[in-house]
Amino acid sequence: MSDFSWLPDFITEQMSQWHVPGVAIGIAHKGETVFARGFGERDRETKKPVTTQTLFGVASTTKAFTAMTLALLVDQKKLEWNTPIREYMPAFALYDDFATQRMTARDLLCHRSGLPRHDTMWYHSPFTRQELFERLHHLEPTADFRTKWQYQNLMYVVAGMLVEKITGDTWEAFAQTHILAPLGMINSNFSVDDTQKTDDFALPYEARGEDIHNIPFVKNLNYIAPAGALNSNINDMLNWLNVHLSQGLHGDTRFVQESTLNTMHTPQMIVDDPTRNELLGEPFVNYGLGWFVQSFRGHQMIYHGGAIDGFSTRAALLPDNEIAIFITCNLDGCALPGIVMYTLCDHILGLDPLNWHQKAKVIVERDHREAFDLLEKSSKARITDTSPSHPLKSYTGGYTHPAYGTINITMSDENTLQAHYNHRVSAIEHYHYDIFDLVLDRYPQIRLKLSFHTNTNGDISQVTVPLQEGAKDIIFRRIAS
With beta carbons less than 8 A apart as the criterion, state whether 207 and 336 touch. no
Cα 104 to Cα 151, 162, 401: the distances in Å are: 16, 10, 27
Identify the pLDDT of residue 125. Answer: 93
Q: Would you place residue 1 in the very low, low, confident or very high pLDDT band (cuts 50, 70, 90)?
A: low
Strand partners, 325: 27, 316
Helix, strand, coil percent values for the chain (each to nearest 5): 35, 25, 40
Check residue 277 and give its pLDDT.
76
pLDDT digits (tens, 9 = 90+) for 91-140: 999 999 999 999 999 999 999 999 999 999 999 999 999 999 999 999 99
pLDDT at 139: 97
Name the DSSP class of 357: H
| Whether pLDDT at 444 is above 90 | no
Alpha-carbon gap, residue 47 to 62, rounded angstroms: 28
Span 390-394, mean pLDDT? 96
Residue 304 pLDDT > 70: yes
250 — pLDDT class (breaks 50, 70, 90): very high
Identify the CA nearest to 424 among candidates 154, 126, 152: 126
**When comparing pLDDT for 414 and 231, which is higher?**
231
Angle between helices 63-75 and 153-167 (to 10 degrees): 30
CA 390 to chain centre: 40
231 touches 24 (CB < 8 A): no
CA pair distance 161, 168, nearest whole angstrom: 10
Mean predicted confidence (pLDDT) in 444-458: 92
pLDDT in tens, 195-225: 999 999 999 999 987 799 999 999 889 999 9
**For strand 424-432 and strand 323-329, is the pairing parallel, antiparallel, or unpaired?**
unpaired
Range in 248-257, 348-357, 437-446 the model is least confident about: 437-446
Predicted pLDDT of residue 481:
73
Q: Are 242 and 32 in contact (CB under 8 A)?
A: no
What size, in residues, is the chain?
481
Mean pLDDT in the chain? Answer: 95
Q: Give me the percent of the chain exceeding a pLDDT of 70.
A: 100
Q: Which residues of 207-228 are buried (b: 16+ CB within 10 A; e: fewer)?
A: beeeebeeeebbbbbbbbbbbb
Express each pLDDT in 282-294 by its tens digit: 778 999 999 999 9
What domains lie within the chain, and their CATH numbers? Answer: 7-368 (3.40.710.10), 392-478 (2.40.128.50)
